[in-house]
Structure 1
Amino acid sequence: VPIEDNETRLHYVANVEGVSFALLVQELDPNLIHSVVWNLLRDMEKPFEYQGLTLDVDATAGIAFHPAHGNSSENLLRNAHIALEAAGSTNEKFAIYSPEIDPYNQRRISLLGELRNAIEQDGLLLYFQPQISLDTLQVSGAEVLIRWIHPEYGFIPPDEFIPLAERTGVIQPLTYWICRKAFEFKHSLSEQGFDISLSINISARNLQDPHFKDQVCQIAKTPT
């Protein structure tokens, strides 16, 4: 549907799926994109009346530029949707597409397959960051941190491979691997007379699994 029609410009809005809409804006200065999107989202989030009720709308946007992010409507919509998902996962109001947030670019596809192998072959590392008791000034626990040293890419930061694991379902075996190795470490310390607590970061995706609690309890009982 054209939302503006004159001799110099055509802007279109289309319902692409459910409550998702695509907005085509032509001849827009990229330097103005932030102010344009903020104004658009602000207008969309104004309360409105429907059948006697006042309704609020929460709007999020994903942005892709032509031709930088695609030469076809399919690629532009795909990349705008990826940006939209990235904005939603970080609680931002909008995001602009970039290869770094694309879970399907070549590097990420490669890393995904190799991450699965790294989990199966113990190719990941755990670091334990000490937690000090303010009362005794002694080590009372540790936070478990995962690290990945890739044979080709070197150090892969967790903020790159953890979101990738969350989007693709690999987060479950990854979290179980972390728990297993962490409990093995704790068991080893206990045998040496050291009893400390461990803090393990858990993804919200893990908590959506109804069997997650039972699996972790089982790993804690028999970590090796």
Structure 2
Amino acid sequence: MIDLEPYVGITVIDGGQIGFDKLLSELELACDNAKKSPESYSVYEYKMYEQLQKNLNMQAKLKNAIMHDSWEVYLQPKLFLGTNNISGAEALVRWNRISAYK
């Protein structure tokens, strides 16, 4: 048996003219938000658009960091406290944001 769960995205047109593309974008954002909501529905709010823009901006910065090799890898030793010997290492990857803009 297939378990289907509906998600509903809602937006409000407050008398002003709104283009079809903008309406569809608002509904899509509200629907995506509804998937995370316990009520399975969501009403579009401008903060959803702002969050999407932040996510896209961060995605672009990360892609730029990958293209410009802006990562630094550090190995942090793991010590066995009983003997104080190194039992392994943990790799830490740091994003050097300054080198991404050189």
Secondary structure of the corresponding residue to residue 75 of structure 1: helix
Q: Is the 8 A contact 1:127 1:144 kept in 2?
A: yes
Secondary structure of the corresponding residue to residue 78 of structure 1: helix
C-alpha distance 74-149 of structure 1, shift in aligned 2 (>3 A):
same
Question: Residue 80 of structure 2 aligns with which residue?
Answer: 133
Q: Which runs of 5+ in 2 are unaligned?
A: 40-46
Q: Could you list the structure 1 runs, at least 4 aligned residues long, displaced by more than 4 angstroms after superposition.
A: none
Amino acid at match of 1:147: R
Q: Which runs of 5+ in 1 are unaligned?
A: 1-17, 27-65, 155-224
2:45 is the counterpart of 1:77: no
TM-score (norm 1): 0.28
Alignment equivalent of 1:123, drawn from 70, 79, 87 = 70
Q: Could you report, residue by residue, the CA deviation over 1:147-197 in whole angstroms, capped at 9, with x for unpaired residues?
A: 11123889xxxxxxxxxxxxxxxxxxxxxxxxxxxxxxxxxxxxxxxxxxx
Q: Could you report, residue by residue, the CA deviation over 1:26-56 in whole angstroms, capped at 9, with x for unpaired residues?
A: 7xxxxxxxxxxxxxxxxxxxxxxxxxxxxxx
C-alpha distance 84-132 of structure 1, shift in aligned 2 (>3 A):
farther
Q: Is the 8 A contact 2:9 2:34 kept in 1?
A: no
Question: Residue 60 of structure 2 aligns with which residue?
Answer: 110
Question: Residue 51 of structure 2 aligns with which residue?
Answer: 99
In 2, Cα distance between the equivalents of 1:81 and 1:153? 35
Question: Residue 22 of structure 1 aligns with which residue?
Answer: 8
Higher relative contact order (CA 8 A, sep 6+): 2
In 1, Cα distance between the equivalents of 2:34 and 2:75? 35
In 1, Cα distance between the equivalents of 2:54 and 2:82? 46
